[in-house]
Structure 1
Amino acid sequence: MLEVEVKYAVPSLDEVRARLIALGGEMCGSGHERDVYYNAPHRDFGETDEALRVRYTEGSCSVTYKGPKIRLKGTKAREEFNLQVDSGTTVEEILGRVGFVATAEVNKDREFFGIRGATVTLDAVEKLGTFIEIEVLAEEDGENAADLVNILAKELGVEGPPLHTSYLEMILSKQ
Structure 2
Amino acid sequence: MLCDPGDHFKGRYEVERKYRVETLEQIRADLASKGAVAFALGNQETDIFLDMPDRRLAGAGQQQVLRIMRPSGRVLWICKGPGADRCVAMDLDDPDKALEMLAALGFGEAGRLTKARDIYFLGDFHVTLDNLEGLGSFVEVAVMTDDAEKLANWTERVEAFALELGLETTSLENRSYRAIMASAQGR
Give the TM-score of the pair, scaled to structure 1: 0.88
RMSD of the TM alignment (CA)? 1.6
Q: Give the equivalent residue in structure 2 for 1:174.
A: 184
Quick check: 1:20 aligned with 2:24? no
For residue 158 of structure 1, give the secondary structure of its aligned residue in structure 2: coil
Q: What runs of 5+ residues in structure 2 fail to find an aligned partner?
A: 1-11
CA 1:150–1:127 in 2, change beyond 3 Å: closer, same or farther? same
- What is the correspondence of 1:25-174 to structure 2 with a 5 Å cutoff? 25-30=36-41, 31-41=43-53, 43-58=55-70, 59-70=73-84, 78-140=85-147, 141-159=150-168, 160-174=170-184
Q: What runs of 5+ residues in structure 1 fail to find an aligned partner?
A: 71-77
Q: Give the equivalent residue in structure 2 for 1:75.
A: none
Q: Give the equivalent residue in structure 1 for 2:18.
A: 7
Q: In the TM superposition, what whole-angstrom CA distance separates every residue of 1:70-113 from its partner, at most 9, and x where no partner exists?
A: 4xxxxxxx211212222111111222233212011111111111
Q: In the TM superposition, what whole-angstrom CA distance separates every residue of 1:106-159 from its partner, at most 9, and x where no partner exists?
A: 111111111121001111112311000000111211122112211111111112
For residue 137 of structure 1, give the secondary structure of its aligned residue in structure 2: strand
Q: What is the letter of the counterpart of residue 54 of structure 1?
A: L
Q: What is the letter of the counterpart of residue 36 of structure 1?
A: I
Give the Å deviation of 1:43: 5.0
For residue 64 of structure 1, give the secondary structure of its aligned residue in structure 2: strand
Please give the alpha-carbon distance, in whole angstroms, between the structure 2 residues aligned to 1:127 and 1:36.
18
Runs of at least 4 residues of structure 1 off by over 4 A?
A: none
Q: What is the letter of the counterpart of residue 119 of structure 2?
A: F
Q: What is the letter of the counterpart of residue 24 of structure 2?
A: L
Q: What is the letter of the counterpart of residue 112 of structure 2?
A: E
For residue 81 of structure 1, give the secondary structure of its aligned residue in structure 2: strand
Higher mean C-alpha displacement, 54-63 vs 37-46: 37-46
Higher mean C-alpha displacement, 100-109 vs 18-27: 18-27
Q: Does the aligned pair in 1 maintain the 2:13–2:88 contact within 8 Å?
A: no
For residue 68 of structure 1, give the secondary structure of its aligned residue in structure 2: coil
Please give the alpha-carbon distance, in whole angstroms, between the structure 1 residues aligned to 2:83 and 2:35.
30
Q: Does the aligned pair in 2 maintain the 1:106–1:126 contact within 8 Å?
A: no
For residue 15 of structure 1, give the secondary structure of its aligned residue in structure 2: helix
Q: In the TM superposition, what whole-angstrom CA distance separates every residue of 1:24-43 from its partner, at most 9, and x where no partner exists?
A: 32222211111100112465
Please give the alpha-carbon distance, in whole angstroms, between the structure 2 residues aligned to 1:35 and 1:108.
8
Give the TM-score of the pair, scaled to structure 2: 0.83
